[in-house]
Structure formats: C-alpha cells, structure tokens
Copies of this chain bind each other. A is one copy, B any other.
Amino acid sequence: MSYSDGFAERNAAFAATAFPGPQPLPPAKHIAVVACMDARLDPRKALGIEIGDAHVIANAGGLAKDALRSLIISQQLLGTREIHIVHHTDCGMVTFTNDVLHAKLVSDLHTHAGDNIDFLPFPELEASVRDDVAFLRGHELILKESKIVGWVYQIEDGKVRKVVEA
C-alpha cells in the first residue's frame, strides 16, 4: 500500500477519535495565518491553533503577495482581523532564482509556458518577513485596523520568534 493509499484509513481513525465535531464557518479567533508550504512546518501545531480557530493559508515561501486573494476573502467575507506571516529557516525559496527555474522548465518540459511566472524567490529570510508585513500594511485592499505580525519558525528546534508587528 502506498503512503497516500493510507489516507482513507488514517482519515477514518481521525474521524472516529480526533474530530472535534461540526463548527461554524468563520474562524473563531478571527485570525488568518500565511505560512510556508514546507513539509517541516505545521503552522497549526507550531502555534497551537485548534481546528476552527483560524484560516491557515500556505504557499511556497508563505508569501503575502500570493495569498492576497485568500486574505481578502478571509477579511471581507469571514471577519478575520489579524494576519500572521510565518516564514522559516532553511527555506527552499532562497536557493534559486527565476532565471534558473525558467530555464529548468524549458529544458525539462520543453515549453516556454513558465517564462512569465514570477516564482517569488527571496534572498534573505528576515527581510522577506518584514517585506511581507509592510506589503500588507500598505495594501489598500487589506483592512487598516488589521493587526499584522511576522514570525520566523526555526526548522532546527521548532521554535518561533517574532520579527515584526505592525
């Protein structure tokens, strides 16, 4: 049995023993988290977020620009009023450039369809957190009354540290 063939079985165990019961659609704590998709960062576990508490958005890097559609929906339709950005040490986003990835797509997949995609790599971790918080703080579609906090998660020891609050 492959790992993903086990999803159904492991889900049955979750539903039987750990499912907390049905809950309201809007996040109970009025919070949205934007975290990296990295396999080693589980933002709910890392911050102690229970099912029902918060929207958790995740993408390559945990980048606010890529999360804007989701954040606007979260704020406008579901009432969240805090945004927490979580980037992390040893992130893959500092290991490549757009030029490198564009060339790899052409070489491996024989298409130029990716040439205009900005993969949003960043050179420096704490700067990326500060940039994302500043991007949201200044964005005209993000509510001015939002609290916006930037964190770094340390892949080495599981600890978070706050980088900036705006």
Q: Spell out A's residues near B (CB within 8 Å).
A: 3-4, 6-15, 18-19, 22-23, 25-29, 31-32, 37-42, 44-48, 51-60, 66-70, 72-74, 76-78, 82, 84, 90, 92-93, 95-96, 101, 104-105, 108-109, 111, 113-114, 117-120, 140-141, 143, 147, 149, 151, 155-160, 162
Contact = CB atoms under 8 A, between A and B. Distances in A.
Q: How many copies does the complex hold?
A: 2
A113 B84 contact: no
Contacts of A23: 39-40, 155
Contacts of A28: 39
Majority-rule SS of A interface residues: mixed
B96 A113 contact: no
Contact of A73 (B22, B27, B60): B60
Nearest to A54: B39
Given A3-B29, A7-B84, A113-B140, A57 B73 contact: no
